[in-house]
Amino acid sequence: MTTRIDGKAYAAKVRESVAGEVAVLKERHGITPGLAVVLVGEDPASQVYVRNKGAQTTETGMLSIEHKLPVDTTQSDLLALIDDLNSDSSVNGILVQLPLPAQIDAEPVINALRLDKDVDGFHIGNVGRLWTGGEGMVPCTPLGCLMLLRDQLGDLTGKRALILGRSNIVGKPMAALLLGENCTVTIAHSRTADLPVRCSEADILIAAVGRPQMVKGDWIKPGATVVDVGINRIEKDGGKTRLVGDVDYDGAQGVAGAITPVPGGVGPMTIACLLHNTVEAACRQNGIDRASLS
């Protein structure tokens, strides 16, 4: 039997806990955490993400601030907005939705964020803190994967983890987090030699390469825990599309010990962790011990 890891249900629990913390922050400290989301242009997928983020921010009792800028926004206009948000005390977290239009260089924009307002954890200073064991902001998708793994497995010490994918947003920060949990970590990618063999050695397999159903059932170690970060739209018979992950979910049945489905696995955890990070940011900026809120 393969357990289906219900990320949708777990994300609802995280949001509930965040809402409780926000209520205490308001009552006891007079603070309403604020999250500013900046969207440049009209990319349809980004518009959906931003709408969902705004709705869930409000649902948990926080202040949602949206800045929608035209597709021809200049680098200096965007940097000027970041400056304003950095010094706005009602804003505890800032997220610049990626990808940005071609005329904007994302790196200096991300690195212009105040380090303690970078709720995405993409600022070079937060990347450094993650790798050196310091107190930084942790990127939302890897944090969500880690929460699901801890809930499923408890202590991860000594587990062999293979991360398939080396992106700055998922693969690399995931490796840092799992090292911090005392796992033995391998980062693999599309050019790794003997990839099926490497996968089959892993107690924990994180798939984040963006290739539909690439990981086959017989690549998986029997009993392994599989976390599928992929969200790929594929054509079904009859021209309709459906979402699949980077793992062949049906092929993994009866082999994996547990696996996250797509949709309903890692996806809902990303926004839940963004809200979690926004509360963390509000606490740190106001010198409040988060543990005292629950």
**Residues near ligand GUN (CB under 6 A):** 95-98, 120, 140-141, 270
**Alpha carbon distance, N-terminus to C-terminus of the chain:** 36
Tokens of 129: 């803190």
Q: How far is the CB of 99 from ligand GUN (least distance, A)?
A: 7
Based on the residue annotation, tell me whether 194 is a catalytic residue of this protein: no
**Which neighbouring-strand residues pair with 188?**
164
Residue among 152 and 277 whose Cβ is closer to ligand GUN? 277
CB atoms under 10 Å from CB of 217, counted, come to 16
Nearer to ligand GUN, 96 or 227 (CB): 96
For 109, the 3-state DSSP assignment is helix
The one catalytic residue among 97, 152, 159, 172: 97
Q: C-beta of 193: minimal distance to ligand GUN in Å?
A: 30
Q: Residue 40 CB, nearest distance to ligand GUN (Å)?
A: 11
Sign of CA dihedral 264, 266, 270, 272: positive
Instruction: Say if residues 266 and 73 touch (Cβ distance below 8 Å).
Output: no
Residue with smaller CB distance to ligand GUN, 33 or 93:
93
In the complex with ligand GUN, the residue whose CB is nearer, 138 or 255, is 138
**CA–CA distance, 108 with 269 (Å, rounded to integer):** 27
Catalytic status, residue 97? yes
DSSP codes joined into one string, 53-74: HHHHHHHTT-EEEEEEE-TT--
- The tokens describing 34, both together, are 């604020």
Catalytic member of 116, 118, 120, 203: 120
Closest approach of ligand GUN to the CB of residue 210, in Å: 12
**172 catalytically annotated:** no
Active site residues: 53, 97, 120
